[in-house]
Structure 1
């Protein structure tokens, strides 16, 4: 657990810097274009590579040293930040540069995420799985509190270059803590040996593994369906807030901070609770429904008086549902093949969310925004609910996607294959009691 905490601390600090840079770049894009499509496309290009990387990511995580993968991914992120900083200082930074670096960073971030997720079971005892997952959400939402809050202030003083410099300093801390950590390697289980036959067998193994376990396959589908609905509205989150607040960076920073407060509260709760004796499917499904309810209220709001508390409650649900489903995956899938199963989940999620973010911007700018202006086709239906000013069309899409999230959670409860997944599917430890760990003795930094 100590090694996990060391890595976790470094990644948390680095995430704060990354969130600051992402926040600053979002403001810069909005200032350059003033269109939801431009902001949504940055999200799209940060998702698109997952479709192509996910099929091979699980195999690479299995074959390659996981510590090197995480280190290499951090280094690529740092080089991307340096490239953008250089272009900005030279006066040559353009929006397409951000799309390109987002795509490149996603490739390595995908490998890093799968490598770290698949390493948790090697660093943490089974009874601490839910707690470890909760701490990862502390990283995500703690950064959401500190990063945008700092960036919202610094953007008006040190501008984008100053924010990027802070990002690079936090990255150096992550690289140092990771370099000093030791990540063991899992010995093959029977399932792992079965998967290692040829490249195509390894690439497709995550799908075949889940297909042979209908309950886990159904859980995967319900999980990625949630992100389809979430990202359809999430792509319009920043443009909607900026448009409704008069392009206020502080308003966007405030709701981002609210997301962090809610998220870190939920993460601390999950870390302290550790799952208890209850079935973990319940917090997953209830968290899905709760997030949808809160986001519906957020979409109806038009000021921080509504946005802030709604965002706090919305984000509180994500560590609860995320910690619960992570714990299910870690306990039901053998450690040495988790990378390939996680990769398949990333692939499904990438396809659906890429489609959602690709259509969200044009759908808002070309269809719903014109239809919600005074005299528009949808004004009589939704005007009383969200108004007819700029961004009302985005609000309609956001509310619709939030209602979809509620429906997805309810469907999970209706289907016995999902509701009873923990009862039906045996634990991986019972399936492979011979699984142990093998130390990695090579010097990790020698090849970097």
Structure 2
């Protein structure tokens, strides 16, 4: 490992920061637009499905090619494709063609680009930094994401108030251009890998199974994936329902929605800062398990609040943000330590696909359930499940023995 890895990360993080903050602003603007246009939990759930399902379906195949291709070029082309899709949606809105089907289609195409960018990014980090710094780097990544989540909703709400939704989408294109530009200034080494024929379908299938077996042979890692998938099955629907919880249960508006989203980002920023600045001695698996417990408590308690307790809801949202930041950094660092760098692309892709497919079912059911029994009751039910996942995790020996 050479001494230039910090310089490389400065360029990488700078580009990612502008890309994330623009995507956060545009994503929140779309949520506001959909919420105000429809006021339906089902519509928000379907939009989330459109943004997740394509990535989940092609993820295992994408991961194989991420491990074969130049990861720098993969990220550049993925960012470019996402920007192009956003441009198409912006032009369509500018011409007055605004309907839900178009939004779903473009979100699905953007998801295809993300299927290549996300695993390429995560698989690149161990190639640029010492393994002893992976948790700290994951924490700093959380800081960048958190700042984006704080500023993004505020910027998105402001943009929706001043501009048409078509013009707001142009922010995402500018962010992608800056991310691509930053990648041009760094070199990313490629891990040693076997020479395979990219067009060989059987070899692709074999490589996919290789990523699966890399996880299965490690019993502790298998349980880590299993419990994270169960928790993700509950967390993803709740993240989609936050705007409706604010509007319907606490009788808020655009300003209150921005406060909730910003507070989650502040919490995640605090959590990432604690990991990035103060390098904790506590084991990563303990961090992940405690995070599930805290997230479950935050969601469960939020659902039990009275409509007049919006301030307390905001505080619990901040607690959830801190815990989510701990979880994401801890989980990512564990996988990067346990899995060889030449397999990281397909392992991260496989995990996301396995996590998202049941989550899609959860989103479909949640849209119907939330519209039927109420958003707050949905928070209580799903929060309780996440809390139990954290408790059971501490009772699983093979998981607790990871990196002991």
TM-score (norm 2): 0.92
Q: Which residue in 1 is equivalent to 2:393? A: 412
Q: Which residue in 1 is equivalent to 2:266? A: 261
Pick from 288, 300, 308 the counterpart of residue 296 of structure 1.
Answer: 300
1:5, CA displacement in angstroms? 2.5
Q: Which residue in 2 is equivalent to 1:362? A: 368
Q: Which residue in 1 is equivalent to 2:225? A: 220
1:314, CA displacement in angstroms? 0.7
Distance 1:245 1:289 in 2: 25
Q: Which residue in 1 is equivalent to 2:68? A: 63
Q: Which residue in 2 is equivalent to 1:377? A: none
1:197, CA displacement in angstroms? 7.8
Summarize deviations over 1:128-167 as a string: whole Å, max 9, x none.
1011111221222211100101222232222424422333
1:234, CA displacement in angstroms? 2.5
Mapped pair 1:319 → 2:325: yes
Mapped pair 1:52 → 2:33: no
More moved, 355-364 vs 234-243:
234-243
Mapped pair 1:285 → 2:289: yes
SS at 1:308 equivalent:
helix
1:288, CA displacement in angstroms? 1.2
Mapped pair 1:137 → 2:118: no
Pick from 346, 349, 360 the counterpart of residue 352 of structure 2.
Answer: 346
Maintained 8 Å contact 1:16/1:147: yes
More moved, 289-298 vs 256-265:
289-298
Mapped pair 1:242 → 2:223: no
1:32, CA displacement in angstroms? 2.0
Distance 2:330 2:91 in 1: 42
Q: Which residue in 1 is equivalent to 2:315? A: 309
Distance 2:110 2:400 in 1: 36
Mapped pair 1:329 → 2:335: yes
Structure with the greater alpha carbon radius of gyration: 1
Maintained 8 Å contact 1:215/1:417: yes
1:178, CA displacement in angstroms? 1.4
Q: Which residue in 2 is equivalent to 1:125? A: 130
Summarize deviations over 1:45-69 as a string: whole Å, max 9, x none.
1111133212212211111111111
Summarize deviations over 1:385-423 as a string: whole Å, max 9, x none.
xxxxxxxx1110111101111100000001111111223
Paired residue total? 392
| Unpaired stretches in structure 1, ≥5 consecutive residues | 190-195, 369-392, 424-448
Q: Which residue in 2 is equivalent to 1:203? A: 208
Summarize deviations over 1:328-378 as a string: whole Å, max 9, x none.
11111111111122122112111121111121112222x32xxxxxxxxxx
Maintained 8 Å contact 1:286/1:409: yes
Pick from 374, 378, 389 the counterpart of residue 397 of structure 1.
Answer: 378
| Unpaired stretches in structure 2, ≥5 consecutive residues | 195-200
Maintained 8 Å contact 2:220/2:400: no
Q: Which residue in 2 is equivalent to 1:36? A: 41
Distance 1:154 1:360 in 2: 29
SS at 2:97 equivalent:
coil
Maintained 8 Å contact 2:284/2:334: yes
Aligned alpha-carbon RMSD (Å): 1.9
